[in-house]
Amino acid sequence: MDVLILTTGGTIDKVHDLVRETLVFDREAGSCVPAILTQARADFPFVEQLMTHDSLDMIDADRQVLVDAILAASERHIVITHGTGTMGLTARYIADRVKDCTVVLTGSMRPYSLGRSDGGFNLGGAIIAAQTCAPGVYGVMNGRVISADDLEKNRTTGRFA
Give the CA distances from residue 112 to residues 2, 36, 68, in Å, rounded to whole numbers and listed in that order.
24, 9, 27
Segment (H or E) for 93: helix 87-95
81, 33 Cβ separation under 8 angstroms: yes
Least distance between a second copy and beta carbon 64 (Å): 26
In b/e form, how buried is each residue of 133-156, taking b as 16+ CB within 10 angstroms? beebbbbbbbeebbebeebbbeee
In whole angstroms, what is the distance from residue 70 CA to residue 1 CA?
A: 16
**Whether 108 contacts 11, CB under 8 Å:** yes
Residue placing its CB nearer to a second copy in the complex, 65 or 114: 114
- Interface residues toward a second copy, by CB under 8 A: 3, 11, 16, 18-19, 21-23, 36-37, 39-44, 109-111, 113-118, 120-129, 131-133, 140, 142-145, 155-159
In this complex, which beta carbon is closest to a second copy, that of residue 39 or of residue 64?
A: 39
Q: Which is nearer to a second copy, 70 or 126 (CB)?
A: 126
Q: At its nearest, how many Å lie between a second copy and the CB of residue 12?
A: 12
Output the smallest distance, CB 13 to a second copy, in A: 13
Catalytic residues: 11
Smallest gap from residue 106 Cβ to a second copy (A) = 9
CB of 30 or CB of 72, closer to a second copy:
30
Q: What are phi and psi of 135, to 5 degrees?
A: -50, 140
